[in-house]
Every structure is written in C-alpha cells, then in structure tokens.
Amino acid sequence: MLDRNRAARITVVDDSSEFLELMEEFLGRELGHAVTGLEAVRASVNDVADSRPDLLLVDLLLGDPAQTVNGWEIVLLAKAHRDLRHVPIILVTADLVGVKERAPELEAMTNVHVLTKPFGLDDLEPLVRRLLTP
C-alpha cells in the first residue's frame, strides 16, 4: 500500500543505461519519486523485491538473448513473488509482435500495462500517476 507521506518507489529494469538515466531524471527529479534503476544484465527478481517498489517498469526485450532472465521472465517471476504480486507493472517494449503473441497471457495478468516504444514522457506520466493513485 502506498503511503502518501513518502515518495513512491519506482523500480526500472532495462538494459540501456541511457533509458535508466532518463527514467531517474524524469520520474525521480521531475516527478519526485524514489527511482531504483536496475541493469538488466545483473537484475534478478530478488533485486527487484529488495527495492520494495510501488511500481515496476520492465523492458520486454533486454539486450543479450543469452541472458539467463529476460524482461518477460522478470514479469512472470514478479507476479509469482509474494512481495511483488500486487505491484503494478508497466511493460515497456518495441516488440509489438511479442506483445501480440503474449496478449492472452497479458490479459490474464492483473495490473500489467503495456507502453510501446517509442513513447513520450507525456504518455508515461499519466499512466504512472494513475497506477500510483491509491
């Protein structure tokens, strides 16, 4: 449950340091949230849980296909994790084919939202505000 007396905690999992910096700048400095950026190559579901997010942003396609965990797996693991299952997730992706293929699974999951890349910050802000409003 989000406490109105503290900044919302948002965790971003992405393989692009530039995207992580942009999210830290926009969500953190401009919107006033506490942002944790996790580099996908090192991120695990336990790292995500340790950040205690109120909102999670995950890139579906995470760079190296040989990685042990990809964005989709992070979403599945988060939804199965006792401390993360109720956390809203924004799945950010340019992989429209992958999203279409997973549409039935996405529809069955609660509180998972898709934001397709490229997107503008003016697309992200209202979604973040809506998902963080108790």
Write out pLDDT tens, residues 27-58.
999 999 999 999 877 788 999 999 999 999 99
Residue 11: CB partners within 8 Å, gap ≥ 6? Answer: 35, 36, 37, 38, 48, 51, 53, 55, 56, 57
Examine the pLDDT at 1 and tell me if it is beyond 60: no
- Quote the pLDDT of residue 69: 61
CA–CA separation, 66 vs 3, rounded Å? 39
Examine the pLDDT at 96 and tell me if it is beyond 80: yes
Of the CA atoms within 13 Å of residue 57, those in its CB half-sphere come to: 29
Higher pLDDT, 59 or 62: 59
- Quote the pLDDT of residue 43: 80
pLDDT digits (tens, 9 = 90+) for 7-18: 999 999 998 899
DSSP-derived secondary structure letter, 68: S
Q: What is the mean pLDDT of residues 55-76?
A: 76
